[in-house]
Homo-oligomer: A and B are copies of this chain.
Amino acid sequence: MEQQEQQDLHFVIISDSVGDTARKVLQAVLAQFPSVTVHMYHYPFIRKMKDLEPVLEEAKELKAFVIHTLVVENLSEYTDNFCVAEDLPCYNILKDLVRDISETTGQQPIRRAGALHRLDDEYFNRISAIEFAVKYDDGKDPKGFLDADLVLLGVSRTSKTPLSMFLANKNIKVANLPIMPEASVPDEIWQVDPKKIVGLTNDAEVLNNFRKERMIAYGLSPETIYSDMDRIRAELEYAYELYNKLGCIVINVSKRSIEETAAIIMSSIEISDTTIIP
C-alpha cells in the first residue's frame, strides 16, 4: 500500500446564521477522508465586518480552508476577496446557485442573514411536531395514534424513539408503540389508515446482542429471558403477523441508520406533502 502523507487540516466555517449548512457539507466531504486529522473552527452569527475581520485573520494564521454561507453581499465578497489575496482555499457554498436562480428568474435574492431560520408558521409547526413526538413516544397515550401523521410500531431496540424525533424535525407528527406478545395493541391502531403505519423489525442476532449488553449494563446475567433467542424469534414473529394483519409496510432497521430509515419512510408513506419540510 502506498505510504500516504499525513497532516492536520484546519477548517474555518463562517455563517451569518447558525452555520449548519456549511457544516453539513463539510461533514459529508470529511466522511470521504476518514484518516485525515481535522480541526474545525465554527463562527456562527457573523453579521458585521468588525466580527468578520478577526475570523479571517485567524483563518490566515491557520492556513485554513474557509467555508462560508454568507449571503450579505459585502461580507460574502470581502471574504472571497480576502481568501484570493491570502491564497486561502475558499468555498462560498451558496454563491453559484444563488447567482443562477437570480439570473433564471430575474429576481434578486433578499440577502437576509438567517432567512432559513425564520420564526414562521412552518417553524412553529415543526416545534409542535417535536412536542407531539415526545408526548406520544412509547405508546404513552393511545389518543396520539389518531392524530399522528405516522405511527411507528416496533419490537424493542428498533430505534423507534430516535426515528420519531428525527421525523418530527421534518415536520411529521409521529406516535410510536412498542410491540410485545404480552401487551395487546390498543384499539386505536386498527382505526389508523395502514398507509400511515410503519412496522419496524430487526435481525434476531442483532437484538440478542443488544439485549445481552443491556443486561450486563444493569449488572445482571446476560442469559435472561430478555436475551433468549427463542423468545426474540417469537417476538419478531408476533410483530410480523401483526404488521401483516395491519397491511402496513415493514422495514428492517438492522443495517440502516435512522437517517436512512427515515428517507425510506418519507418516500414510502402517504403523508400530505404540505406537512413535510422538503
Contacts and interface: CB of A to CB of B under 8 A. Distances in A.
Contacts of A32: 71, 94, 98, 109-112, 115
A38 B277 CA distance: 13
A36 interface: yes
A69 interface: yes
A25 B89 contact: no
Can you tell how many copies of this chain the complex includes? 2
Contact of A20 (B19, B24, B33, B137): B24
A226 interface: no
Contact of A31 (B67, B118, B161): B118
Interface residues of A, number: 82
A278 interface: yes
Interface string A20-50: 1101111111111111101010101100000
Contacts of A4: 105-107
B260 A33 contact: no
Contacts of A102: 33
A245 interface: no
A240 interface: no
Interface of A: 4-7, 9, 17-21, 23-36, 38, 40, 42, 44-45, 65, 67, 69, 71, 89, 91, 93-94, 96-98, 100-102, 104-107, 109-112, 114-119, 123, 126-127, 130-131, 133-134, 137, 159, 161-162, 165-166, 168-169, 255, 257-260, 262-263, 267, 277-278
